[in-house]
Amino acid sequence: MSEHLTTVAGVTIDTRHFIGGERVASTETFTDVSPIDGSSLGEISRGTAMEGAAAVAAAKAAFPGWAATPPAERARILRAVADGVDERAEELAIVETNDNGALLRSHRRGIMPRVAHNFRFFADWLLKLDHEDFTTRGHTNHVSWDPAGPCVLITPWNAPLMLATWKVAPALAAGNTVVLKPAEWSPLTASLLADIAAGAGLPAGVLNVVQGYGSEIGDALTAHPDVRRISFTGSVPTARHIAASAAAHLTPLSLELGGKSPLLVFADADLDLAVDLAVEQYDNAGQVCLAATRILVEETVAAEFTRRFTDKASRLRQGDPRDEATDIGPTIHPRQLEKIDGFVQRALAAGARAVVGGRRGEGHYYAPTLLTDVAQDSEIVQEEVFGPVLTLQTFTDEDEAVRLANGTRFGLAATVATGDPERAERVTARLVAGTVWVNCFFVRDLQAPFGGSRQSGVGREGGNWSFDFYCDVKNTVTAPKGWKVHG
pLDDT in tens, 413-427: 999 999 999 999 999
Q: Cβ(418)–Cβ(439) under 8 Å?
A: yes
**Which DSSP category does 36 fall into?**
T
Q: Cβ(112)–Cβ(89) under 8 Å?
A: yes
CATH number of 5-257+452-475: 3.40.605.10
Query: What does DSSP say about strands 29-33 and 262-265: parallel, antiparallel, or unpaired?
Result: unpaired
* Rounded Cα–Cα distance for residues 278 and 350 (Å): 24
344's torsion region: left (phi>0), alpha (psi -120 to 50) or beta? alpha
Residue 254 or 487, more confident? 254
Using 50, 70 and 90 to split pLDDT, how confident is the model at 484? low
Distance spanning both ends of the chain, measured CA to CA: 69
Q: What is the pTM of this model?
A: 0.94
The pLDDT of residue 282 is: 96
Q: Which 3 state secondary structure label does DSSP give 96?
A: helix
Mean pLDDT of 350-370: 94
Q: Answer whether residue 1 shows pLDDT above 70.
A: no
Largest CA distance in the chain: 86
Mean pLDDT of 456-483: 91
Mean pLDDT of 40-67: 97
The amino acid present at 112, given as its one-letter code, is M
Using 50, 70 and 90 to split pLDDT, how confident is the model at 481? confident
The pLDDT of residue 487 is: 52
Q: Cβ(414)–Cβ(261) under 8 Å?
A: yes
Q: 229 forms bridges with which residues in the sheet? A: 151
Q: Domain 262-438 - what CATH class?
A: alpha beta
The pLDDT of residue 35 is: 96
In 184-233, which ranges are E strands?
207-209, 229-233
The pLDDT of residue 273 is: 98
- Enumerate the domain spans of the chain: 5-257+452-475, 262-438
Mean pLDDT of 470-479: 95
The pLDDT of residue 2 is: 77
Q: Answer whether residue 3 shows pLDDT above 90.
A: no
Q: Cβ(149)–Cβ(63) under 8 Å?
A: yes
User: Active-site residues: which are they?
Assistant: 256, 289
**Mind listing the pLDDT tens digit for each residue in 16-31?**
999 999 999 999 999 9
- The mean pLDDT value of the chain amounts to 95
Mean pLDDT of 108-125: 96
Q: Which residues, 6 or more positions from 210, have their beta carbon under 8 angstroms from its beta carbon?
A: 17, 19, 47, 51, 52, 55, 179, 180, 181, 217, 221
Mean pLDDT of 441-459: 93
**Mind listing the pLDDT tens digit for each residue in 242-287?**
999 999 999 999 999 989 999 999 999 999 999 999 999 999 999 9
Mean pLDDT of 307-319: 96
Mean pLDDT of 313-329: 95
**Mind listing the pLDDT tens digit for each residue in 339-356?**
999 999 999 999 999 999
Residue 234 or 485, more confident? 234
Using 50, 70 and 90 to split pLDDT, how confident is the model at 363? confident
Q: Answer whether residue 482 shows pLDDT above 80.
A: no
Domain 5-257+452-475 and domain 262-438 have a common topology: no
**Mind listing the pLDDT tens digit for each residue in 76-97?**
999 999 999 999 999 999 999 9
